[in-house]
Amino acid sequence: MARRHDAQLSMAQSRRPVTNDRLPAIAGGLFVLALISAFIGTAVVSLLSVGEETSGLAIAGDAVVRRVLWFTLLQAALSTLISVAAAVPVARALTRQSRFPGRRWLIRLMAVPMGLPVLIGALGIVGIWGRQGIVNDLLVWLGAGERFSIYGLSGILIAHVFFNMPLATRLLLAGLERIPTEYWRTSASLGMGGLAIFRFIEWPVLWRVIPGIAGLIFMLCATSFTLVLVLGGGPAAATIEVAIYQALRLDFDPVRAVSLAFLQVVVTAAILGAMALFPAPTDPGATLGGVARRFDGRTLLSRLGDGIVILAAAFFLVLPLGQVLVAGLRSDLVKLFSDAAVLHAAASSLAVGLSAALVSVLVGIAVIRARTALAAGRRRRPLAGLVSMALSAISSLVLLVPTAVLGTGWFLVLRAEGDVARFAPIVVVCINALMALPFAMRVLAPAFEEHRRRTDRLCDSLGMAGLARLRLIDWPVLRRPVLTALSFAMALSLGDLGAVALFGSENLTTLPWLIYNRMGAYRNQDADGLALVLGLVCLLLALAGTPETKRKESRDAG
């Protein structure tokens, strides 16, 4: 009996430190929750305090605001329609022609626009579709009367399709590749033609995922800033976020900026609410694995048609990327990086990007640890449930309160204090960290959850907690997902132009802001060289941010 009592006492003592670890984790989560709430709340309160001109009636009665809202929704709807409509035949062709030469590399290429800074993609599109680009030269050679302009609605649509059609293709391809092989055997035994296969097999699968994909793309296009700023061509073609920037930085009309900021929140909330009605598209990376054997698409006509579709998609993606590479190599990179302004912008970009990435990852870890600690309690108390729900929602709050809204609120706060430039770097870092937080959480949360399930009982039995557990158990396993989230968050921050566009100055000039200024000053060769360097850095970081499991699956598929 004495030995059993001693064993029970020893076990209770060994478990006590693990239980006590819950309190610091919960405290850290509450601290992060308070900081993010204060940061967002301060911006919102500053918007509310501007004046009565920002009432709902004033917003509805402003002709400029109505015009901006109409253009925002119009370009988002058209971009979504074209992107999804173009992605359907590309995904079908890639599914039917599983042995198409270079198929695996084309699918990988479709991930490049997602890791490429938007400003770099815009430069490549201007080089191909602009007045002196390949497309206009070809049209003139074919007898077209005059060259068309890339600036305006047409340029915005081309750019949005360039970035979103590959995303839609990968998501649709993931759905099509999950169709069981038995379906294709049955269709072959019944002698079903291409139209019947699309109607009875492919379309039911596509229809289940298209609404979620369309909602995601519509959200991205409705909140688009950089592409519209570069390719819009002026106030006549401006989304809400661009109009906010123009109202603050160009016209200095805080009242209109606040009206537009509230309108942006309403539009974003409506889109998020609509997206919640449909299942979210998942698993875009599982498009290189086992492809079900299909028996259609083997005729010469089918192969020719699918080949034309695949090659057209490949050229649409490759040409702008190749333009960035060729134009960048033509510039004098040595001379460019001996420029003090370029070195200052590079240093500022690295400082802002690394700081934002570190803040985003640390906040994500704190939120995950707090949620885990709250879930580990023996009694599920209502207050703990509410805190856990708040922690889960805080990482996605930036989707409801976008960058332009946060930037506008803090711009008004700092302007009231009389020193915008002094605190601008801190605000930009915080906004970029919040922008990257949902992506960091998407990488960190599954890894931490899986690691917790595997190691909690072992650590409880050993009485291991605190720094000892971190050094011996947690860090060796979680190091890779933490570095993955860090590199991906840094890539997002390095390529961002949204926050720094409001706060950029001589003291705060990042590489995207410098590229935009050089483009405005018609120093296109400098912009091309900087774009090449920034694009390569962001792509390398995004590649480093690709989980190793997916890379292994890709190698196995090859």
More confident position, 71 or 20 = 71
Residue among 232, 249, 5, 206 nearest 87 (CA): 206
User: What pLDDT digit, counting tens, does each position of 386-441 carry?
Assistant: 777 877 777 777 777 788 888 888 888 888 777 777 888 899 999 999 988 888 88
User: What pLDDT digit, counting tens, does each position of 481-499 carry?
Assistant: 888 889 888 988 888 888 8
8 Å CB contact between 361 and 17: no
Kindly report whether the global pTM for this prediction surpasses the value 0.85.
no
Q: What is the mean pLDDT of residues 144-149?
A: 76
Identify the sign of the CA torsion 251, 514, 342, 430: positive
Q: Which of 27-31, 85-89, 146-150, 158-162 has the lowest mean pLDDT?
A: 146-150
8 Å CB contact between 156 and 182: no
Q: Which of 45-49, 52-56, 296-300 has the lowest mean pLDDT?
A: 52-56
More confident position, 520 or 528 = 528
Rounded CA separation 105/330 (Å): 26
Q: pLDDT band for 9, please (50, 70, 90 cuts).
A: very low
Distances (CA, A) of 508 to 244, 497, 519, 532: 20, 12, 18, 21
DSSP one-letter code for 233: -
Residue among 439, 440, 441, 436 nearest 353 (CA): 436
Q: How high is the pLDDT of residue 212?
A: 87
More confident position, 285 or 350 = 350
For residue 128, report the phi and psi dihedrals to the nearest 5 degrees.
Answer: -90, -45
HEC profile for 14-35? HHHHHHHCHHHHHHHHHHHHHH
Instruction: List the Cα angle 470/475/477 in 5-degree steps.
Output: 130
Q: Which residues contact 191 (CB under 8 A, 6 or more apart)?
A: none
Rounded CA separation 273/85 (Å): 24
Q: pLDDT band for 15, please (50, 70, 90 cuts).
A: very low
Q: Record the tokens describing residue 216, joined without a space.
A: 């995601």
User: What pLDDT digit, counting tens, does each position of 510-519 carry?
Assistant: 989 888 888 8
Q: pLDDT band for 164, please (50, 70, 90 cuts).
A: very high
Q: Record the tokens describing residue 60, joined without a space.
A: 């509805």
Burial environment of residue 502 by CB neighbours within 10 A (0 to 12, 13 to 18, 19 or more): buried
8 Å CB contact between 84 and 217: yes
Q: What is the mean pLDDT of residues 174-181?
A: 81
Q: Which residues contact 165 (CB under 8 A, 6 or more apart)?
A: 82, 83, 86, 87, 90, 313, 316
Q: How high is the pLDDT of residue 355?
A: 94
Q: pLDDT band for 551, please (50, 70, 90 cuts).
A: very low
Q: For the chain, give the mean pLDDT.
A: 80
Residue among 435, 518, 2 nearest 241 (CA): 435
Residue 342, pLDDT > 50, answer yes
Q: Record the tokens describing residue 320, joined without a space.
A: 């702008």
Rounded CA separation 288/259 (Å): 46
Q: How high is the pLDDT of residue 166?
A: 92
More confident position, 116 or 316 = 316
8 Å CB contact between 351 and 556: no
Distances (CA, A) of 137 to 143, 145, 159, 252, 545: 10, 11, 19, 40, 39
User: What pLDDT digit, counting tens, does each position of 205-260 carry?
Assistant: 888 889 888 988 998 899 888 899 888 867 778 888 888 888 887 777 787 888 88
Identify the sign of the CA torsion 231, 236, 239, 243: positive
Q: What is the mean pLDDT of residues 87-98?
A: 88
HEC profile for 157-217? HHHHHHHHHHHHHHHHHHHHCCCCHHHHHHHHHCCCCHHHHHHHHHHHHHHHHHHHHHHHH
User: What percent of the chain has a predicted confidence (pLDDT) above 90?
Assistant: 15
CB atoms within 10 A of CB 362: 16
User: What pLDDT digit, counting tens, does each position of 127-136 carry?
Assistant: 899 888 888 8
DSSP string, 331-378: S-HHHHTT-HHHHHHHHHHHHHHHHHHHHHHHHHHHHHHHHHHHHT-S
